[in-house]
């Protein structure tokens, strides 16, 4: 019976089971369809605003605009993001291995996402109730950095995955790694491993060691947290973790790992190239932004080839600072020092602006006094300590340092020696506010070879070489003489040096010579050499003051000048750059080339955007120019610029001093280069008694020209026209007057 019943039940059971299975399959199919529809809808929603991956083919990240000197050395850069674009082959295997070991072990095998890492991360997120767990592959990080915002919401994560899959379908692993390596943020404004290698180690990425590559590879997880500058201990632990991962992955041996982990961080931070010629670089930036726009300059990766000579620029920097130091010492200790306690600053955290620079022998820095005793002063300059001894402050006439310095004072010092363990030997200097500026221009090309716009760019960005309009004093007189020579005057023509008065709006104007003496009838040669004021006034009256002003404008001076006789003594205001450029006309046979800072500019791809050869203009005849060189040679050989004969080189020029010694000038040239120097205060106040152009400016000019002329030993000025030579022979040679500085006063 049971057997018969079993035979009857089995078909019924099988039919029932079949119906259940069909229902389950149908339910699963409905569920799958619903999930697929939901997923499709979800993907549609999150892909609506998804960027096109094809944009990545044309993607060019923001990169650094770099400025080069005439030797191809980087002297400055502009960037919103400090990035150096590199190719895949520029990144060494050790760096690629380090990055892949710590960030994405299966990078070479996965298709944009690592499913097991994603599931594991999701599980840990759910179990911990947070969104702290990562699992992003390099490709996902790239998609987030390039196209998406950094938040950790679910929708953004979906977009990140979708973008990563699209990127993997369209690009090779090498292309993806290169894009990632050029894009990733590494802290301190640095983006990309090439820029990171240069910033942290002052070397190209291809030269990285294992420990250096590991340090860089560990930064993307937390550039601030693992900064080797701000958090060296955490950075070291992170670096060693990367090294361990590389060993576990078989990318380096245990011996290599042990050796690499034993090494200290050994940072060699890249010095700021803008320090060499900050005023020149800033002037270039203003020009570039005006011509090409701010975005192109700071994001476009331009290559800017400038006219600057790095060696001459360093000589200019040193000459200006040493010249100002000599001026300060001549006028004694003034003791007007800022004290951090009195100013309400924190002694422990105080930082001066110039402490970002690395001290070197001969450099000038502000230093904070940390301890004072009768035998020495201890100071702080950033991470450096310094010692100042009484012998190095003897010029102040104070033997006991405690008499003039107190803890918390910010003193101005010159670095004598850099010792081990970041210790310095220094000499006490002074910064009373006196400023100086220098411009040097190549006569034959108009190229600006050096520019100093002030004592300290960190304290004042105002460029006194290009932005300051100052009275020129007697350095204006060569324009007067040029107008006369163009009208036929000769060096040995005579003029009367005797009292004279002229009507003016306020009655009679009676100019006088600097020494209040008069020499009677003298030659033009002697009058200019000794900078006699009365002959210059008489000469200006003879040729016509309007003719003089027209001549000044032909020389390239753009300042509006009123047609009054006092102009002949330098009451007109000009910039040092225009004044210096005008003087290049004399040694250049009457031709003036417009001064310029750039040779050429190219874009990111190397296409030429600008090329500059200088605008050429005839100012005076070659004959007149050679006569003026002869007259200005007399200033050096027999007159107010006599000190320059110590150079033992053919040079010429003119001193200049304004009323009350507010401005001191020396404008001079050799056959190849013209240099102008100005010394004064930003506000118009006196430099002090007898601080003439010969005293304050000429020594700076000479120190610079020693370097500028070092490799130009055989140069000579063009010969005088034969008729001028013959005319000079027919005249009785003037007996040189006693040497002295005959400036306008």
Decide if pLDDT at 744 tops 90.
no
Provide the pLDDT confidence category of residue 527 given band limits of 50, 70 and 90.
very high
Three-state secondary-structure class, residue 271: coil
Please give the structure tokens belonging to residue 718.
């063009």
The torsion of the CA quartet 226, 229, 234, 235, rounded to 10 degrees, works out to 70
The CB density around residue 473, as the number of other CB atoms within 10 Å, is 27
Contact 503, 565 (CB under 8 A): no
What span, in angstroms and rounded, lies between the C-alpha atoms of 341 and 632? 53
The CB density around residue 294, as the number of other CB atoms within 10 Å, is 13
* Fold observed for domain 86-273: Penicillin binding protein transpeptidase fold (1.10.3810)
Domain 333-431 in CATH: superfamily? Nucleic acid-binding proteins (2.40.50.140)
Residue 480, judged by CB atoms within 10 A of its CB (0-12, 13-18, 19+), counts as: buried
155 phi-psi bin (left φ>0, alpha ψ -120 to 50, beta other):
alpha
Closest CA to 687 of 316, 321, 322, 324: 324
Task: Give percent of the chain with pLDDT exceeding 90.
Answer: 67
What span, in angstroms and rounded, lies between the C-alpha atoms of 30 and 36? 10
Residues paired with residue 65 on neighbouring β-strands, in sequence order: 78
Provide the pLDDT confidence category of residue 680 given band limits of 50, 70 and 90.
very high
What span, in angstroms and rounded, lies between the C-alpha atoms of 66 and 80? 13
**pLDDT digit string (tens) for 466-519?**
999 999 999 999 999 999 999 999 999 999 999 999 887 778 889 999 889 999
Residue 363, judged by CB atoms within 10 A of its CB (0-12, 13-18, 19+), counts as: buried
Residue 733, judged by CB atoms within 10 A of its CB (0-12, 13-18, 19+), counts as: exposed
Decide if pLDDT at 212 tops 80.
yes
CA 376 to chain centre: 36
Decide if pLDDT at 321 tops 50.
yes
**pLDDT digit string (tens) for 536-585?**
999 999 999 999 999 999 999 999 999 999 999 999 999 999 999 999 99
Decide if pLDDT at 134 tops 80.
no
Residue given tokens 């009838």 in the structure block: 521
Decide if pLDDT at 58 tops 80.
no
Q: What is the pLDDT of residue 274?
A: 67
C-alpha distances in Å from residue 525, one per residue of 395, 625, 634: 40, 14, 7
Contact 226, 237 (CB under 8 A): no
One CATH from 3.40.710.10, 3.40.50.1100, 3.90.940.20, 3.40.250.10 for 435-596+618-730: 3.40.710.10
User: DSSP assignment, residue 82?
Assistant: E
Instruction: Taking each helix axis as running N to C, give the angle between helix 232-248 and helix 93-103, from 0 to 180 degrees, rounded to the nearest 10.
Output: 100
pTM: 0.82
Contact 409, 336 (CB under 8 A): no
Query: Quick one: average pLDDT of 95-117?
Result: 84
Q: What is the pLDDT of residue 36?
A: 47
Provide the pLDDT confidence category of residue 39 given band limits of 50, 70 and 90.
very low
Gyration radius (Cα) of the chain, Å: 37
Residues near 304 by Cβ (< 8 Å), separated by ≥ 6?
65, 66, 67, 68, 284, 288, 598, 601
Positions marked catalytic: 103, 474
DSSP-derived pairing of the beta strands 663-669 and 598-602: unpaired
Residues near 525 by Cβ (< 8 Å), separated by ≥ 6?
491, 492, 630, 631, 634, 734
Residues near 86 by Cβ (< 8 Å), separated by ≥ 6?
178, 181, 182, 192, 193, 194, 205
């Amino acid at each position: 019976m049971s057997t018969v019943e079993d035979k009857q039940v089995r078909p019924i059971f099988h039919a029932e089971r079949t119906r259940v299975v069909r229902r389950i399959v149908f339910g699963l199919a409905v569920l799958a369809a619903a999930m697929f529809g939901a997923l499709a809808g979800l993907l549609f929603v999150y892909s609506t605003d998804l960027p096109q991956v094809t944009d990545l083919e044309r993607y060019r990240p923001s990169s650094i605009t770099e400025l080069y000197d005439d030797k191809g050395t980087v002297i400055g850069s502009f960037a919103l993001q400090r990035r150096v674009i590199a190719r895949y082959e520029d990144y060494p295997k050790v760096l690629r291995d380090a990055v892949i070991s710590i960030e994405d072990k299966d990078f070479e095998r996965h298709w944009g996402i690592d499913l097991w890492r994603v599931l594991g991360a999701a599980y840990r997120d759910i179990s911990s109730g947070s969104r702290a767990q990562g699992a992003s592959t390099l490709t996902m990080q790239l998609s987030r950095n390039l196209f998406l915002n950094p938040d950790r919401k679910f929708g953004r994560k979906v977009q990140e995955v979708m973008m990563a899959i699209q990127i993997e379908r369209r690009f090779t692993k090498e292309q993806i790694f290169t894009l990632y390596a050029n894009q990733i943020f590494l802290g301190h404004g640095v983006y990309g491993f090439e820029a990171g290698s240069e910033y942290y180690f002052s070397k190209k990425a291809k030269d990285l060691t294992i420990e250096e590559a590991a340090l860089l590879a560990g930064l993307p997880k937390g550039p601030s947290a693992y900064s080797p500058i701000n958090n060296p201990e955490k950075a070291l632990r992170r670096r060693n973790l990367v090294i361990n991962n590389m060993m576990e992955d078989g990318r380096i041996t245990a011996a290599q790992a042990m050796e690499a982990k034993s090494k200290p961080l050994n940072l060699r931070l890249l010095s700021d190239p803008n320090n060499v010629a900050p005023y020149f670089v800033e002037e270039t930036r203003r020009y570039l932004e005006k011509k090409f726009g701010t975005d192109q300059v700071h994001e476009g990766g331009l290559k800017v080839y400038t006219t600057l000579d790095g060696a001459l620029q360093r000589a200019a920097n040193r000459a200006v600072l040493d010249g100002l130091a000599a001026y300060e010492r001549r006028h004694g200790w003034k003791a007007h020092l800022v004290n951090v306690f009195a100013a309400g600053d924190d002694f422990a955290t105080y930082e001066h602006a110039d402490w970002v620079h690395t001290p070197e022998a001969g450099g000038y820095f502000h230093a904070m006094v940390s301890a004072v005793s009768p035998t020495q002063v201890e100071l702080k300059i950033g991470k450096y300590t310094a010692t100042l001894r009484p012998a190095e402050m003897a010029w102040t006439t104070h033997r006991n340092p405690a008499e003039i310095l107190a803890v918390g004072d910010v003193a101005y010092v010159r670095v004598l020696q850099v010792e081990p363990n970041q210790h310095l030997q220094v000499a006490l200097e002074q910064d009373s506010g006196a400023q100086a500026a220098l411009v040097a221009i190549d006569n034959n090309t108009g190229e600006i070879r050096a520019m100093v716009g002030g004592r300290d760019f960190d304290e004042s960005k105002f460029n006194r070489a290009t932005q300051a309009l100052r009275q020129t004093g007697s350095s204006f007189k060569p324009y007067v003489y040029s107008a006369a020579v163009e009208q036929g005057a000769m060096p040995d023509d005579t003029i009367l040096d005797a009292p004279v008065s002229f009507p003016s709006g306020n009655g009679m104007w009676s100019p006088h010579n600097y020494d209040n003496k008069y020499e009677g009838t003298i030659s033009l040669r002697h009058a200019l050499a000794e900078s006699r004021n009365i002959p210059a006034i008489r000469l200006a009256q003879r040729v016509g003051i309007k003719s003089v002003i027209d001549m000044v404008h032909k020389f390239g001076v753009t300042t509006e000048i009123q047609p009054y006789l006092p102009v002949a003594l330098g009451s007109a205001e000009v910039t040092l750059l225009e004044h210096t450029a005008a003087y290049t006309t004399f040694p250049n046979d009457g031709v003036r080339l417009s001064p310029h800072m750039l040779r050429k500019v190219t874009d990111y791809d190397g296409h030429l955007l600008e090329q500059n050869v200088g605008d050429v203009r005839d100012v005076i005849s070659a004959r007149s120019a050679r006569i003026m060189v002869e007259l200005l040679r007399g200033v050096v050989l027999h007159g107010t610029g006599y000190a320059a004969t110590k150079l033992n080189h053919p040079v010429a020029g003119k001193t200049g001093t304004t009323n009350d010694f507010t401005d001191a000038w020396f404008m001079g040239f050799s056959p190849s280069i013209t240099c102008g120097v100005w010394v004064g205060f930003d506000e118009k106040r006196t430099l002090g008694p007898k601080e003439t152009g010969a005293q304050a400016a000429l020594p700076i000019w000479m120190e610079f020209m020693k370097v500028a002329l070092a490799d130009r030993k055989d140069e000579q000025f063009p010969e005088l026209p034969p008729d001028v030579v013959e005319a000079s022979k027919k005249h009785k040679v003037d007996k040189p007057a006693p040497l002295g500085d005959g400036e306008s006063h």
